[in-house]
A and B are shown apart, each in its own frame.
Chain A
């Protein structure tokens, strides 16, 4: 269970969340939607422990992230969550399989076990034959599949995906969303997908719209901006 209660967060003078609350159940597939700058990425960063709320409570699987020490937060990041980014964030000097083994190395797994697990995961995403390619030798879709393999290989119970289809064509987007769906249904992992792609969001069991006033308290500037964007869309 992921619980955000009255969470406040901002960057300098820019307020992103003010008294924001959200509950996500174990094994849920939730799509976080909203316009650019609405806080989708920030929400994922809060849940992943990369940022800490400035006020309020954030509980993930009974762990209060606000009260964890840096070391505990590190451990949490290693064992509980994994993230997939729009920009893939692969390490450029590592091959596909090395990128996938990276989180396993950080967990202290033996090189042999790392390799076995990474090979299996690359097979699963259909990249077994390109395991020794560097990211620059792969297509965008392939890079995203490597990133997905890297996030799945740790078997972390929570998978966060930040605009994972942003750089992909339709075919690759469908393949990616099917994979996330499979991870959610088949492995009962919680998937939280931040996207502004309606087709991608449709795969989720629940949609949380950060533009919606019922989910988020926006600053007056934010409301105005949101209304503007909404009108433009209409």
Chain B
């Protein structure tokens, strides 16, 4: 006979109570795990959707216009390389340099933007019709029109700009943004037309992770600002960033609170089961004490029982949580969330610990049993 053997026999010997305890804990852990999985998946989906909103950091010239000439201020396009070499650049999804101007097209003043392929990475929602459907970026002598502008120009196949003719090779699907009224050229073309080779007037940056605990949008902005000279300012698009961060925090808070609530519920269930078992087992406890079981041995016995309920409860709960995730994941998150396997042993350990913790009141109650009274009553 060993302590563990006695605890196993005592725990498994009472099949009904054992199964009820394990099932209670398993349900609790399953809900906890399922909630966590789904909330993580939902968070991932939200994060993904939020990052698709576009640039959440913008690099602009320090002053908007040259006070002396009134001319539009620019800065070197090479700053994009500096941004791409910041320590956490791997967490940036896209860095898109742009140059903008206004010009008349078909008698209307239109905003013209010179863009690179990175712009399509920032604006993932862009859908382009025409020849540019796949590349989404105009080449030399090509122009891409916003949907509203295209309809205003009544389906023209080419337009004249700065004395040069450009073929309309793509029309943006309606985006519901200012892009619908813009025209887009390749950055190099616009730089050449404006006589500003290698110069841009803004860089839009999209981070891969909005509210990663290690690196927020604001941390990225600070890091980029340190890497760039003083002639530009780095602006986290505060409204977007703030709302993105707030949304994610809200999601986390709600799912975290729900998970803790369920965990407390599971702990209470196992605790009540063990606590009630002491009342049922008073006589056996009396026998053990009359045979010389010390309070310490009694504590250990109950803690081991708690662990023995916790571990299978944890394993079953994890399986249940996975099933829950697989069943509900597609409808909630749009995909099947899977846990990181490395934390499964820790989850089982936590379940065992939870069982041990839940056994403490029962153990305290068992230690307080008066063996004399119990044995007398049973005689």
Contacts and interface: CB of A to CB of B under 8 A. Distances in A.
A75 B10 CA distance: 24
Given A93-B10, A103-B292, A106-B291, 19 more contacts: A45-B372, A50-B289, A50-B290, A50-B371, A50-B375, A74-B289, A74-B292, A74-B293, A77-B292, A79-B292, A85-B379, A87-B378, A89-B290, A91-B284, A94-B9, A102-B1, A102-B6, A106-B297, A111-B1
B290 A77 contact: yes
Contact of A41 (B294, B371, B379): B379
Contact of B291 (A77, A86, A92, A163): A77
14 contacts: A50-B375, A77-B289, A78-B291, A83-B290, A85-B375, A85-B379, A89-B287, A93-B9, A102-B1, A103-B292, A106-B292, A107-B292, A114-B1, A163-B379
Given A50-B372, A51-B372, A98-B9, A89 B378 contact: yes
Contacts of A50: 289-290, 371-372, 375
A144 interface: no
A121 to B, nearest CB: 14
Interface string B356-376: 000000000000000110011
B164 interface: no
Contacts of A94: 6, 9
Contacts of A41: 376, 379
A51 B6 CA distance: 26
A209 interface: no
A162 interface: yes
Interface in A36-86: 41-42, 45, 48, 50-51, 70-71, 74-75, 77-79, 82-83, 85-86
Nearest to B378: A87
Interface residues of A, number: 36
Contact of A74 (B13, B14, B294, B379): B294
Contacts of B375: 45, 50, 85, 89
Interface string B262-304: 0000000000000000000001100111111111010000000
A104 interface: yes
A89 B289 CA distance: 12
A106 B297 CA distance: 8
A124 B3 CA distance: 27
Q: Would you list the 10 A-B pairs with minimal beta carbon distance, nearest first?
A: A93-B13, A78-B292, A105-B1, A50-B372, A51-B372, A101-B1, A106-B292, A103-B291, A77-B292, A89-B287
Contacts of B284: 91-92
B290 A104 contact: no
Contacts of A87: 378-379
A4 to B, nearest CB: 16
Contacts of A71: 294
Contacts of B6: 94, 102, 105
A79 B294 CA distance: 13
B13 A86 contact: no
Nearest to A52: B372
B9 A162 contact: no
Contacts of A105: 1-3, 6
Given A93-B10, A102-B1, A162 B379 contact: yes
A163 B330 CA distance: 68
Nearest to A194: B379
Nearest to B11: A93
Nearest to A114: B1
Contacts of A102: 1, 6, 288, 291
B292 A89 contact: no
Task: Tell which of B1, B13, B284 has the most Cβ of chain A within 10 Å.
Answer: B1
A86 B294 contact: no
A70 B292 CA distance: 11
A131 B252 CA distance: 58
B376 A45 contact: yes
A168 B297 CA distance: 33
Nearest to A105: B1
A149 to B, nearest CB: 13
Nearest to A118: B1
A70 B293 CA distance: 12
Interface in B4-48: 6, 9-10, 13-14
A57 B378 CA distance: 27
B294 A48 contact: no
A111 B6 CA distance: 12
A225 B136 CA distance: 107
Contact of A86 (B283, B292, B379): B379
B13 A98 contact: no
Nearest to B284: A91
A60 to B, nearest CB: 15
A168 to B, nearest CB: 16
B278 to A, nearest CB: 15
B325 to A, nearest CB: 37
Interface string A16-44: 00000000000000000000000001100
